[in-house]
Chains A and B, each alone.
Chain A
């Protein structure tokens, strides 16, 4: 899809479990099913429209700790929220500061999301 690249800053990324992630895990973390599930980001219809995205399009997600490519999927989320299945891909966006608790902040990560334009790279 051509057109200007729109960036939405200030998304709140929530990571969590999904049934598909839990079932595909047992096929091996190298399996396509697992890899696709943990590489998928869910966005609201409003956000997808604003970013000029269709389901299956690729996006770039950046946090203060890293940057990843992901495939987008429509979901019934608030417009400021993005959701990813927990896994190695989302963990590239999460910092290691545990604020003295041992627990990293795996939910509520501020991220920037852009429509990915480099079509040649595999997600």
Chain B
């Protein structure tokens, strides 16, 4: 069976033009998929999770009941992950965290959390990827390597496509890469500016000064970059974790946001973060419309409080402040600093995930689910904030993340009714 216009639930590009051939409930070939996406679709069954309690295989209902029992007795549980699931599940996870008086955080805190902090301080001049495709004659990738992390970004949105005001495609568009190391992306660029590690803030601030007309003694390449940015018709600064994970973090992002704001006194310029997981933007959106805050949220006082550095996953785990962790569609044992993730094996950890992971290996309860965007429908937000409906193309013997979370929420409420 052929499925057309399938949305790829992998990275923040959410490419929606994939074609899949499915036979006997398996994807046997893909069209328009990048290397990352193709590997995902063709290996969907490579490492599937099984329903487990204390490492022993059992039924999924027993796992859900066990999870309800554990989580209902928690003093201060953490609900974490959620960047690789759809937005209904994210909404239900917020409801659960509030019901439990726990904390909730998404993987946003370890990818573009500093971007959110920067935007809250500075505001942002933004646009959609469609606007970049149709209008941008200059794209600057700063601390970002799209060839490895977002392989179709350049061909679908930012470099080669022909748009309404960019009829010449690549020939009419300049690409600049600013990074601390040469990458596959920098090799494609018209200009590559190599910074010393940890000097992004200085470089961005120097560009601001140059754009304001200050005379400063600086690398001639930065002077040329400033002129190029001022003189383009429509520019886009697309930044990655080179800014958010390096020394300075949110202050680096502040400097980039301010640079783009200043550039708009001379031309049109927009800025966008290159978000990683396919619905990490959705997690920010859903958390914000549900609680007022995008990540690192605490409900222990009965109302939402915002605290990056206090209620964010790395901080809560490294300070050993939670007694139960519910991990949804994420693998913190693999992706967090070991000083923080090692605590997950000391407490009751429950994992809801379609796949086996390093976290499921140490979890007390593992609840396998239907993978969102492949075996369950839902909505995800592209890196530019555009919501896109995900399709179901394969059947799964397991319920969706949303259905499992509904059962857990109902189970906690029922348990409390019986107790009272």
Contacts and interface: CB of A to CB of B under 8 A. Distances in A.
Interface of A: 12, 14-19, 22-31, 65-66, 75-78, 80-81, 83, 86-88, 91-92, 94-96, 98-108
A14 B197 contact: yes
B180 A81 contact: yes
B284 to A, nearest CB: 13
Contacts of B242: 16, 107
A88 B312 contact: no
A55 B242 CA distance: 26
Given A23-B36, A26-B40, A87-B334, A100 B309 contact: yes
Nearest to B308: A102
Contacts of A83: 181
Interface of B: 35-36, 39-40, 42-43, 46-47, 105, 109-110, 113-114, 117, 145, 147-149, 151, 180-182, 184, 194, 196-198, 241-242, 244-247, 249-250, 276, 295-296, 308-309, 312-315, 317-318, 331, 333-341, 355-358
A95 to B, nearest CB: 6
A-B pairs, top 10 by smallest CB distance, nearest first, are: A102-B312, A28-B47, A100-B309, A96-B318, A102-B109, A102-B308, A23-B39, A96-B339, A94-B337, A26-B43
Contacts of A91: 334-338, 341
A26 B331 CA distance: 13
A80 B194 CA distance: 13
Nearest to B108: A102
A28 B40 CA distance: 10
Contacts of A17: 145, 148-149, 276
Contacts of B196: 78
A101 B341 contact: no
B114 A103 contact: yes
Nearest to B312: A102
A22 B337 contact: no
Contacts of A23: 35-36, 39
B247 A19 contact: no
Contacts of B42: 26
A86 B335 contact: yes
27 contacts: A14-B197, A22-B148, A23-B39, A26-B39, A27-B43, A27-B46, A28-B356, A29-B334, A29-B357, A66-B338, A76-B181, A81-B180, A88-B335, A91-B336, A91-B337, A94-B337, A96-B315, A96-B337, A98-B309, A101-B250, A102-B295, A102-B309, A103-B245, A104-B340, A105-B249, A106-B110, A106-B245
Q: Which of A16, A88, A92 has the most CB of B within 10 A?
A: A16
A106 B337 CA distance: 9
Given A95-B337, A102-B105, A108 B181 contact: no
Nearest to A13: B197
Contacts of B357: 29
A14 B180 contact: yes
Contacts of B356: 28
B246 A108 contact: yes
A48 to B, nearest CB: 16
A12 to B, nearest CB: 5
Contacts of B105: 102
A88 B308 contact: no
A44 to B, nearest CB: 10
Contact of A30 (B39, B47, B113, B145): B47
A99 to B, nearest CB: 7
